[in-house]
Structure 1
Amino acid sequence: MSNPEPDAPVSRGSRLEPRPAAGYAGDITPQEAWDLLGDVPDATLVDVRTDGEWRTIGVPDVSSLEKRVVFAEWVHADGRPNPAFLEELKAGLGATGGPVVFLCRSGQRSIGAARLATSAGIAPSYNVVEGFEGPAGPDGVRNHSGWKVRELPWTEAGA
């Protein structure tokens, strides 16, 4: 399988090859995250965006995989770190023990969440590059990459 981006992770069936990262299992694309969630029964998706983002932008939908998303704010809406993040994460994960896939808006905040989870023994922990909406493009709009643009299942805010 050819890979158009030399640093991008490669997914070969159920074998995941994440892009290496310091302090966590690695970076994966939104599609690889979806594939991992579908292939590994105890894999969990954790959305670390803020409550306001969940309510106004929408959320990933993994119900077709017979799973649920764990929601745990990495930071509060005002940018302050959530001191209860690790407790909320552990409560949301329960005793699954499988791979954990972290998602934020653009793939930046979720790096910190994946690192903290790994340091707390929650592993393997992956970061979804591009996040839910992707980084802003040259036009300042977030509609060039990410979970939503890749047409992975999601639910609109207020739905």
Structure 2
Amino acid sequence: MIEDIDADKVWQALQADPQAQLVDVRTDAEWNFVGVPNLADLNREVVLIPWQVYPTMQRNGAFIDHLRQAGIAPETPTYFICRSGARSMAAAQAAAAAGFTTVFNVAEGFEGPPDAQGHRGQVSGWKASGLPWHQR
């Protein structure tokens, strides 16, 4: 069972453990147009590995290989984030099935659910929590 962790607690975990990794599994279009978590204050970069490939949104069959190529060891505490927490949960489950032992899902993702006007990033998630992020 993969644990959902609130964005604030993920930030605290990343601060406390220099080995911990944040893996953003959204698409390159989302990274470019919506923004990405900014880990510069921690002297790190977020690891960008798409779970699905834009524009077809077909599952990235090399996802686990890309995790390994990024230097993430199976025992590394790894937090997966997407837009709202669904793709990142699937990615975390796949990583766990491939032998990664310390994986977590960022609850509500980068933008969280839409507000009453249908806009994301205001209700919950990384952006709404006021955590650092930037446009690419």
**TM-score after normalising by structure 1:** 0.79
Write the distance in 1 (CA, Å) between the matches of 2:125 and 2:50.
19
Measured in 2, the distance between the counterparts of 1:59 and 1:149 equals 13
TM-fit CA distance, 1:76: 1.3
The residue number in structure 1 matching 2:65 is 87
| CA–CA distance in structure 2, aligned partners of residues 126 and 71 of structure 1 | 16
Aligned counterparts, 1:44-123, within 5 A: 44-77=21-54, 78-95=56-73, 97-123=75-101
Determine the C-alpha separation between the residues in 2 that align with 1:31 and 1:151.
9
Identity %: 43
The C-alpha deviation readout for 1:109-146, integer Å capped at 9, x for no partner, is 00001101111111210000110011112321112111
Aligned counterpart in structure 2 of residue 152 of structure 1, from 125, 131, 134 = 131
Distance 2:114 2:63 in 1: 26
Q: Distance in 2 between matches of 1:94 and 1:106?
A: 23
Aligned amino acid, residue 90 of structure 1: R
Greater radius of gyration (CA): 1
Which SS does the other structure have where 1:111 is aligned? helix
Coordinate RMSD, CA, aligned: 1.4
The number of aligned residues is: 134
Gaps of 5+ in 2: none
Q: TM-score, normalised by structure 2?
A: 0.92
Deviations 1:93-113 (A, max 9, x none): 344842000000011100001
- Taking the aligned partners of 2:12 and 2:71, their CA distance within structure 1 comes to 19
Unaligned stretches of 5+ residues in structure 1: 1-21
